[in-house]
Structure 1
Amino acid sequence: MIQSLLFFCFLLPLVFIIFKPKSKFKSKSDEKLAPKSYPFIGSYLSIYSNRHRLIQWTSDAVHNSPNFTFLLRRPFGQSRIITGNPTVVQHILKTQFSTYQKGGIFRDTLFDLLGDGIFNVDGDAWKFQRQLSSHEFNTKSLRHFVEHVVDSELNERLLPILTTAAANETVLDLQDILQRFAFDNICKIAFGYDPGYLTPSLPDAKFAVAFEDAVRISSERFRMITPVLWKIQRFLNIGSEKRLKEAVFEIREFAMKILNEKKQELKDKPSIQSVDLLSRFISSGHSDEKFVTDIVISFILAGRDTTSAALTWFFWLIFKNPEVESEIVREINEKSDSPIYDEVKEMVYTHASLCECMRLYPPVPIDTKAATVDDVFPDGTDVKKGMVVSYHPYAMGRMETLWGGDYIEFRPERWLKKDEREEKMRFVPRDPYTYPVFQAGPRICLGKDMAFLQMKRVVAGVLRQFKVVPVVNDGSEPVFVGALTSKMKGGFPVKIKERK
């Protein structure tokens, strides 16, 4: 591994000196349209120099392209098309859905962690898992989720921790707290198991730590100059790949333990009224243990990081926009006498605020497919079979052409419209191909409604009692880090204040 890195360290500067860039752009203003590309190494020099801000850098490239689509040339002839054009996004996710699949690169990179789970397969395997999983998101299941799973985690764990922090003026890493909250929630729904990750001692639960390491290392694979490097490490069982192997073993060992316990539970009590995903798959007659655990692991990944990422940025944005926070608190107090499920369903302004937050800081900032045949995008871009294509929600949420001159402002009102008949505001969703935060088309996120219910219940529970005050230097901003899901670099330190 070290020899390979040294080889590239000497090779790349040499190539840079010998070859002129393959670029048709002549002026400085033209050069902004796309990253410079060189023979053999493509745009690696630009990629490397922007390795700590790849999401922001590719977002800039999307914005600077006349049709909001550009070609990124990676080393060794790898090409990747990245777009923020809603017409192209609709083409990828709906019109030519069968043409754009997960692809070999994406599948191979995440296979050790996700296996044949729903987020890593196409075709009949994907259809079956989606159809069976969809039963988990009906109204009855959603009501149970928010009234029992979320509410118990909120009142028995999250709020007591915040109360103690407020009394002791403790600094908390709210990003970590929210990840723990979401992890407990999704494990209860997926496994029917409570890992107790959000308890006052904030334990380093073995399963949760292994999951965090596996996701981080799997994400890092995408950023390597070539997949050959991580595959060599995996073959030699060294470096981060050694830790990934250990982490995946721990995850699957734990999942198998829960699976066997669940099988025994269902055997002893065949009429048990269980709502967890694992019970549903077992009851469907599937005995392939690896297949079932693949599915559950995929759902833990989806449920753990996405809502916690959205809520982390949400609390930062309302701190910066106190007038929005005041309006949210007013709405919470108005709905406080409603039953829990009805309360969160009717929180229109809070819903708009969460959508506005995810416009600026999408939990999944970029998503990738692969072309199965030659194609042409609606904007005229040629796509070759096997080429990787990505759509860029982060870039799309910051485009003036889509959101107007105030696109950089956090303004929930852009999602609302006055209902003259009832004299109140109603939520107006945007076209999912302009706002593909939850994907769109046949693969649109099954857990969208569940995510909003969970987030709104947390917001109501927290802001009714507390103010969240970030511990930051004046004028400093958290750093957005994008991988499989987005995070704040270094966590989100806050103090909790009792609301008077």
Structure 2
Amino acid sequence: MGQRIVQTGNPAVVRHILKTHFPVYQKGQAFRETLTDFLGNGIFNTDGDTWKFQRQVASHVFNTRSLRKFVEQVVDTELNDRLIPILATAAAQNQILDLQDILQRFAFDNICKIAFGFDPEYLSPSLGQSKFALAFDAAVEISGRRSSQIHPLIWRIKKLLDIGSEKKLRLAISEVREFAKNIIRDKKRQLPDGASLESADMLSRFLSSGHSDEDFVTDIIISFILAGKDTTSAALTWFFWLLSKHPEVAKKIVKEASEKSEVTVYDEVKDMAYTHAALSESMRLYPPVPLDSKEVVADDVLPDGTAVKKGMRVTYHVYAMGRMEKLWGSDWAEYKPERWLEREGSDEESEKWRYVARDPFSYPVFQAGPRICLGKEMAYLQMKRVVGAILTRFTVVPAMPEGMEPQFISILTSRMKDGFPVRIHSLA
């Protein structure tokens, strides 16, 4: 249909497009057009100076001081006041919970608190739906499915006629943007003139940077909600599924978490090497963002000799790369956290581990190069804290029919089709 796309799982090519020749491979017009209605000019949908500005301002939220505050105040409060009580109640009453939904609510509350200083209280005992949450999920799904259609002309015509999925998208986006604008208006009223930004949330920093245009800041809010809500929750959902099949891994995580219970929460999760490895291994098999695509803005030749022309797209397939024997060996299909670890010291029986990161171009789960995920460390800290807190108190047991496997689906981010039903068993 007149479109040419190169798909790759070659780390040399990934390095080329994400770092070495970064200026030649951008989001591009086709990508931006597909997602502009939803993401506008937010950080995930822009290139050049607009992208640089948003990344520079947002980076202040990911320093060590902010990360400590995030884990010890935001995540821990959400855990102790909401998530743990909900799981305890489900265990006591033998309820079936959709763990994917629970984790999405948990992540949504957390990203709103740290980024915008706003608590939506989406994770509550009632687990009630909200108009915003339903609208946001609809906007993600419909926007994501635009790119999978045979030709963009199909969704453009539906948008012009305001029918079907495009009408649903327009209504969903209207709901989402109104929600975001209400957050902005409240923040503007709360933000005193000349306030110190030393410990300010991300929204306060953007509003104080001279960019107080409501539509622009709304784009930023929507992008960061998408990043914080759907990626970590997807990673954790698949992680708990894998743990249910590998109880020996869960046992080692519980041992590690128990040994570190005497230190501060931040220091505890920062040094959980085995849990860090177990999460990395899970995301190898089930990456939160299964693929990423760049537009070629000038003729180029890839390291493998493939010639690419201006206007073409090059897609690196993260999901496929995590399952390539060439990259991970003959045991690639096995879930083995140990592949990320080295024993500390010379004692081969030592149970003290050191985490060894892989080349980010062989494992581009968090992208790599100039656009590497700003929230990578924050995501790991949040996930390790959640995992340690849950596994030292409960066992998570899938409540699916015997022999049934969950289905991996990808829209803008990955998820389990139809959710992840589980029963919670208390260890107390």
SS in 1 for 2:191: helix
Higher relative contact order, structure no. (Cα contacts within 8 Å, ≥ 6 residues apart): 2
Residues 1:203 and 2:131 are matched in the alignment: no
Q: CA RMSD in A?
A: 1.3
> Structure 2 CA distance, aligned partners of 1:378 and 1:293?
39
Counterpart for residue 61 of structure 2: 136
Please give the per-residue CA displacement for 1:219-256, whole angstroms capped at 9, x wherever unaligned.
Answer: 11011111111111111111111111111111111111
Shift of 1:268: 6.9
Aligned ranges for residues 325-364 of structure 1 at < 5 Å? 325-364=250-289
1:427: which partner in 2? 355
Residue 247 (structure 1) aligns with:
172
Q: State the match for 2:425 in structure 1.
A: 497
* Pair 240,274 (structure 1): closer, same or farther in 2 beyond 3 Å: farther
CA distance in 2, matches of 1:164, 1:350: 26
Partner residue in 1 for 2:212: 287
Question: Aligned partners of 2:34, 2:199: CA distance in 1, in Å?
Answer: 34
1:275 Cα offset (Å): 2.8
What is the DSSP-based 3-state SS (H/G/I as helix, E as strand, rest coil) of the residue aligned with 1:417?
Answer: strand
Q: Distance in 2 between matches of 1:148 and 1:454?
A: 11
8 Å contact from structure 1 (residues 116, 294) kept in 2: yes
Alpha-carbon distance in 2 for matches of 1:251, 1:465: 36
State the SS of the aligned residue for 2:425.
strand
2:374 pairs, out of 421, 443, 446, with 446
| Residue aligned with 1:495, SS | strand
1:469-491 CA-to-partner distances (Å, cap 9, x unmatched) read 00123332111101210001110
Deviates more, 1:286-295 or 1:166-175: 286-295
Specify the alignment match of 2:390 in structure 1. 462
C-alpha deviation, 1:403, in angstroms: 0.5
- Take 2:231 and 2:242, find their aligned partners in 1: how far apart are those partners? 17
In the alignment, is the contact (CA less than 8 A) between 1:266 and 1:272 conserved in 2? no
Q: Deviations over 1:86-114 (max 9, x none)?
A: 01100110111000000111100000011
- Structure 2 CA distance for partners of 1:207 and 1:154, relative to 1, 3 Å: same
Deviation at 1:190, TM superposition (A): 2.2
2:162 aligns with 237
Distance in 2 between the 1:78 and 1:147 partners? 49
Structure 2 counterpart SS, 1:77 = coil
Q: For residue 382 of structure 1, what is the aligned residue in structure 2?
A: 307
Contact 2:99–2:421 (8 Å) recurs in 1: yes
Instruction: Tell me how far apart the structure 2 counterparts of residues 188 and 286 of structure 1 sit (CA, whole Å).
Output: 21
Q: CA deviation at 1:188?
A: 1.1
- Residues 417 and 362 (structure 1 numbering): CA distance in 2 closer, same or farther, change over 3 Å? same
Per the TM alignment, residue 361 of structure 1 is displaced from its structure 2 partner at its CA by: 0.2
Distance 2:284 2:418 in 1: 22
Matched, 1:416 2:341: yes
Residue 274 of structure 1 deviates from its aligned partner by 5.2
Unmatched tracts of structure 2, length 5 or more:
none
Q: Deviations over 1:163-219 (max 9, x none)?
A: 000000000000000001011111112221111110011111121111111101101
TM-score for the superposition, normalised by structure 1: 0.83
Distance in structure 2 (CA, Å) of the matches to 1:191 and 1:250? 18
User: Matched residue of 1:438: which SS?
Assistant: coil
Distance 2:177 2:319 in 1: 33
The Cα offsets for residues 287-339 of structure 1, whole Å up to 9 and x where unpaired, read as: 21111111121111111100000000000001101111111111111111211
Q: Secondary structure at the match of 2:330?
A: coil
Paired residues of 1:100 and 1:370 also in contact (CA < 8 A): yes
Q: Per the alignment, do residues 94 and 269 of structure 1 end up closer, same or farther by CA in structure 2, a change over 3 Å counting?
A: closer
> Percent identity, aligned pairs only?
65
Matching residue of 1:24: none
Instruction: Quote the residue 1:191 is aligned against.
Output: 116
Residues 277 and 296 in structure 1, CA contact (< 8 A), matched pair in contact too: no
Q: Distance in 1 between matches of 2:345 and 2:29?
A: 52
> What's the counterpart of residue 53 of structure 1?
none
The letter for the 1-side match of 2:174 is F
What amino acid is the match of 1:232? I
Whole-angstrom CA distance in 2 between matches of 1:215 and 1:156: 29
Q: Is contact 2:91-2:424 (8 Å) kept?
A: yes
How many angstroms apart in 1 are the aligned matches of 2:277 and 2:160?
48
Residue 487 of structure 1, aligned match among 401, 415, 421: 415
SS state of the match for residue 82, structure 1? strand
Structure-2 separation of matches of 1:428 and 1:207: 40
- Structure-2 change in CA distance of 1:269 and 1:164 (3 Å): farther
Q: Quick one: distance in 2 between partners of 1:267 and 1:189?
A: 19
CA contact (8 A) 2:66 2:199 kept: no
Judge conservation of contact 1:363–1:485 (CA < 8 Å) in 2. yes
CA–CA distance in structure 1, aligned partners of residues 404 and 124 of structure 2 = 31
State whether structure 2 residue 400 is matched by structure 1 residue 477.
Answer: no
Give, in whole Å, the separation in 2 of the partners of 1:271 and 1:130. Answer: 20
Aligned residues: 425
TM-score normalised to the size of structure 2? 0.97
> Structure 1: which 5+ residue stretches go unaligned?
1-75
Q: Partners of 1:311 and 1:150 in 2: how far apart?
A: 14
For the residues of structure 2 that align with 1:121 and 1:221, how far apart are their CA atoms?
18
